[in-house]
Structure 1
Amino acid sequence: MAQDSAVFSAQAERIKTGKGFIAALDQSGGSTPKALKLYGVEEDSYSGDTEMYGEIHAMRSRIILAPDFTSDKVLGAILFERTMRAEINGTPTAALLWEDRGVVPFLKIDKGLEDEADGVQLMKPMPDLEALLADAVGFGIFGTKERSVVHHANATGIAAVVAQQFDVAKRVVAAGLVPIIEPEVNIHSETKAEAEEMLRDEILKHLDALEDGQDVMLKLSIPTQANVYDVLADHPKVLRVVALSGGYSTDDACAKLSHNRKMIASFSRALTEGLSKQQSEDEFNTALGGNIDKIYQASL
């Protein structure tokens, strides 16, 4: 099934020029228990993966259906594969996001990280990637996100991370989707600023080598030196540069992001900070609305 070209064009224009941020609702199996614990759901309150994923889907559904989670401030949302395949109120999640909320749907496609080598963690193999991308197109997904991690300013490791990211990105583009390339720099790295400059330069080489029609997005840690990624945001092959919160609190992440004029947010933990399953609908919507507003303002 091919993408609807008119819908795809409208989504691309929204991502490229719209005001707002991209919500990251893509916690995977490894990070789901921690996300649920922060949401007030302890591990002893569910049994097995099915119940765990049911709890996280209920949390994500509650966020997506909240009155402030609309195109007024949210440009896109990154989904976990199970969330893409699930429904909210009888409607496939991606369809509800776009048709009901005006929010562009993305899909997390990586399968986790390899052990650290040369100061980085590469992505694990994705043997079924083409099948997953075909399913994503069928569900109305606009783009994908794939994450690797840079821990140290190691030229060999950073070159390997960026090369792998762009190899995957080209497969995503070939499937008709827009890839978000995410080589996260560990915010606790003692060589964070140096690593970010090396990463910027390596990404630039690969961007310059892309062919016509191979447009990408970038998701990067908020840099130590503000605006160090402006040259990437200005590149003709880049639709948008978005920032991950990387473990900063909502307030810290927003404060740091606000100094970077050409990055918008794509926060996960910072978006859900202070939310709890035990909250009333009014309490939940007020807390989420406050986070959405802070992140939106920092993305302007």
Structure 2
Amino acid sequence: MNQDMANQMRTAKGFIAALDQSGGSTPKALAAYGLSEKDWSNDDEMFDLIHAMRARIVAAPDFSGSKVLGAILFEQTMDRAFEGKPAPRHLWEDQHVVPFLKIDHGLEDTADGVQLMKPIGGLDHTLQRAYMLGVFGTKERSVIHAANPAGIEAIVAQQFDIGRQVLSHKMMPILEPEITISIPDKAEAEGLLLDAVLRHLDMLPDDTEVMIKLTLPETPGQYDALVNHPKVMRVVALSGGYDLNEATARLARNPGIIASFSRALTEGLSARQEDTAFNAAIGRNIASIYAASVTG
């Protein structure tokens, strides 16, 4: 594991940019960017457009390691280039931004109130490739839709199983058991999730660290035990459908947690903007998310 990257993620101020929209979420991301299905005729063209959007974000003057500690990439992005250099190498060597890779391949149907990850075929090979390309860690997402103890235990167990596989490749896993923001028993689900995560952390060897990505909680300080846990390198938060103002307000009420936003990060960006307007808009978003991430 790259110790310079580890030190940055463990102690530096800033947040993680989630630039990892996959095939299922790319059309929505492009729609928010002002592009519709009329702007592409096949998947290759669609992915070219989303990569151009990501490259534009990465090229913005405010997108640097002084505020953006890391960036989560889609696998196709890992295999493409920014500024003529492999994307992970460009991020770290030129911008001092730590690269992560999204590794999940979608979700199973809902059972016991949760959606587990589908099997991740060829994961060891993917992790080997990512490591050789300079990727520091991974992110893997599953979703909680209800405060169901059996379902939440199953989702946390799966997250930690995949996390141990990632650790075996000398990479840092970001475990992401997302709680849907609209469910009526969200606060109860957060309590069950915290208890399950703490139990599984206790089962890790003492010299092991993971990162954890969570939905912003209903009760400020809900996840303080994870923020302060010796086996947790960093707790990060997803925006989860909250707009930028709501996401940053909730984040600021939870000192020690930093952002890992996707939709909130790109709010207000448009393919039709001239570079000056685009850079100003992403700069404002970065400044807002950074300020909320360094509170406390």
Q: Does 1:22 align with 2:16?
A: yes
For the residue of structure 1 that corresponds to 2:138, the secondary structure is strand
Q: Tell me which residue corresponds to 1:124.
A: 118
Letter in 2 for 1:176: K
> By how many angstroms is 1:213 displaced?
3.7
Q: Structure 2: how far apart are the matches of 1:166 and 1:130?
A: 16
1:171-196, CA deviations, whole angstroms, 9 ceiling, x for partnerless residues? 00001100000000000010000000
Q: Structure 2: how far apart are the matches of 1:251 and 1:235?
A: 29
For the residue of structure 2 that corresponds to 1:15, the secondary structure is helix
Question: If the length of structure 2 is used for normalisation, what is the TM-score?
Answer: 0.98
Q: Structure 1: how far apart are the matches of 2:207 and 2:40?
A: 46
Which sections of structure 1, spanning at least 5 residues, go unmatched? none
Q: Does 1:206 align with 2:165?
A: no
1:90-141, CA deviations, whole angstroms, 9 ceiling, x for partnerless residues? 1000001001111000000000101111000000001210000001101100
Q: Structure 1: how far apart are the matches of 2:179 and 2:41?
A: 34
Q: 143, 150, 170: which is aligned to 2:144? A: 150
Q: Percent identity over the alignment?
A: 57
Q: 44, 55, 59: which is aligned to 1:61? A: 55
Q: Tell me which residue corresponds to 2:265.
A: 271
Q: Tell me which residue corresponds to 2:43.
A: 49
Letter in 2 for 1:118: D
Q: 191, 211, 224: which is aligned to 1:217? A: 211
Q: Tell me which residue corresponds to 1:243.
A: 237
Runs (4+) off by over 6 Å? none
Q: Structure 2: how far apart are the matches of 1:198 and 1:212?
A: 23
Q: Structure 2: how far apart are the matches of 1:31 and 1:76?
A: 21
For the residue of structure 1 that corresponds to 2:264, the secondary structure is helix
Q: Does 1:35 align with 2:23?
A: no
Letter in 2 for 1:33: P
Q: Tell me which residue corresponds to 2:161.
A: 167
Q: 158, 163, 188: which is aligned to 2:182? A: 188
Letter in 2 for 1:103: V
Check whether the contact 1:170–1:214 (CA below 8 A) recurs between aligned residues. no
For the residue of structure 1 that corresponds to 2:218, the secondary structure is coil
Question: If the length of structure 1 is used for normalisation, what is the TM-score?
Answer: 0.97
The alignment's C-alpha RMSD in Å is: 0.7
Q: Tell me which residue corresponds to 1:138.
A: 132
Letter in 1 for 2:243: S
> By how many angstroms is 1:58 displaced?
0.3
Q: Does 1:231 align with 2:225?
A: yes
Q: Structure 2: how far apart are the matches of 1:193 and 1:214?
A: 29
Which sections of structure 2, spanning at least 5 residues, go unmatched? none
Q: Structure 1: how far apart are the matches of 2:13 and 2:208?
A: 23
- Give the count of matched residue pairs: 294
Letter in 2 for 1:264: I
> By how many angstroms is 1:41 displaced?
1.0
Letter in 1 for 2:101: L
